[in-house]
Amino acid sequence: MNETAEFVIRHGYAVLFFWVLAEQGALPVPSIPLLLVCGALIKSGHLTSAPFLFSGLAACLIADSAWFQLGRSRGSKVLAFLCRMALEPDSCVRQTEGGFARYGVRFLLVSKFIPGMNALAAPLAGSAGVGWVSFLIHDLLGAAVWISSWGIVGYIFSRQLDEVGDVVGRAGFRLMLLIVALTGGWIAWKYFQRRRFFRKLAIARIPVEELQRMLDAGEEVIIIDVRGALAKPRDPIPGALRIPLGEIEARHEEVPRDRDVVLFCT
Q: What is the pLDDT of residue 159?
A: 77
122/61 Cα distance (integer angstroms): 10
Q: What is the pLDDT of residue 222?
A: 83
Q: What is the CA angle 249-110-5, rounded to 5? A: 130
Name the CATH superfamily, with its identifier, for domain 208-264.
Answer: Rhodanese-like domain (3.40.250.10)
94/90 Cα distance (integer angstroms): 6
Q: What is the pLDDT of residue 171?
A: 47
46/62 Cα distance (integer angstroms): 26
Tens of pLDDT, residue by residue, the chain (266 residues) = 555 556 666 777 888 899 899 888 877 778 888 888 888 888 888 889 999 999 999 999 999 999 999 888 877 677 667 666 555 555 556 666 666 767 778 888 988 987 767 777 888 888 888 899 999 999 999 999 999 999 999 888 877 766 555 544 554 445 455 555 665 676 676 667 666 655 655 556 777 788 788 878 878 888 888 776 655 555 667 778 888 776 777 777 778 777 778 887 76
From the list 166, 154, 165, 162, the residue with the least C-alpha distance to 40 is 154
CA dist 125 to 18, 66, 79, 100, 111, Å?
24, 12, 11, 8, 11
- For 139-198, the pLDDT digits (tens) are 999 999 999 999 999 888 877 766 555 544 554 445 455 555 665 676 676 667 666 655
Indicate the pTM of the whole model: 0.64
* Longest CA–CA separation in the chain, Å: 75
Q: What is the pLDDT of residue 175?
A: 46
185/47 Cα distance (integer angstroms): 37
5/158 Cα distance (integer angstroms): 11
Pairing of strands 260-264, 241-242: unpaired
From the list 10, 20, 5, 80, the residue with the least C-alpha distance to 55 is 20
Q: What is the pLDDT of residue 148?
A: 95
Q: What is the pLDDT of residue 54?
A: 96
Residue 60 · residue 139 · CB < 8 Å: yes
Domain ranges of the chain: 2-171, 208-264
Q: What is the pLDDT of residue 140?
A: 95
Half-sphere exposure for 255 (CA within 13 Å, toward CB)? 18
